[in-house]
Copies of this chain bind each other. A is one copy, B any other.
């Protein structure tokens, strides 16, 4: 399982991904799911992946080697994409390319072609953008009305985002909310786990403001988890009991 969340606010972009993978409950490993493509000052892009690890890794390797454009003959990668939109299209094409070569064999083994990506970043002179890319290679873009996108196990971590996230939230407040969302997910699904990779990018800087891995036992995240738990307990206790009477 996986949980990744991308948040796009006025001040910039936050991307958060866990690192737990499992091939059955009896085969759990740690793999990085947040991949950063950076030419400081010119462009920064990040891809977070969910779904079948063999597929997502193949898509990323295909993008790193470059996918030949049939018209121009150019090897297309993320780092030479002219715009974020065209870069998202390239991820879509890479997914379709992998599906064309692997899909049939996976289907024969009853394995779904299950993969999805968050793709965020900024190219100098253009807007910061965030996309969610589906297994068919199509995608949607994050807008100001709902300034976040999620892939993987999204339900447990969605309520706190719905309540607290809006476009004007300060960048590190957005990171905090994203971490609470990750905490809620980890508590309810053991398929999502530490360490957590975090990327924070400030608008118009085209470089990472923070590229950090939160390991188990890290004091701030540990404190965030205990405070959130204690506050929820208190919130719960402070609500009065139902006043309903028998057959009321």
Contact = CB atoms under 8 A, between A and B. Distances in A.
Interface of A: 155-156, 158-160, 162-164, 170, 172-173, 175-177, 179-180, 184, 187-188, 198, 200, 208-212, 220, 223-224, 227-229, 231-236, 238-248
Contacts of A238: 227, 231
A188 B158 contact: yes
A193 to B, nearest CB: 16
Nearest to A177: B236
Each complex incorporates copies of this chain amounting to 2
Contacts of A229: 163
Contacts of A177: 236
B210 A187 contact: no
* Chain A binding surface, main DSSP class: helix
B198 A244 contact: yes
29 contacts: A156-B159, A158-B188, A159-B184, A159-B187, A162-B187, A163-B232, A172-B241, A175-B242, A175-B244, A176-B236, A176-B240, A176-B241, A180-B236, A198-B244, A209-B246, A210-B244, A210-B246, A211-B247, A212-B244, A220-B240, A220-B243, A220-B244, A223-B240, A227-B235, A228-B235, A231-B231, A231-B235, A231-B238, A234-B235
Contact of A242 (B158, B172, B244, B248): B172
A228 B240 CA distance: 11
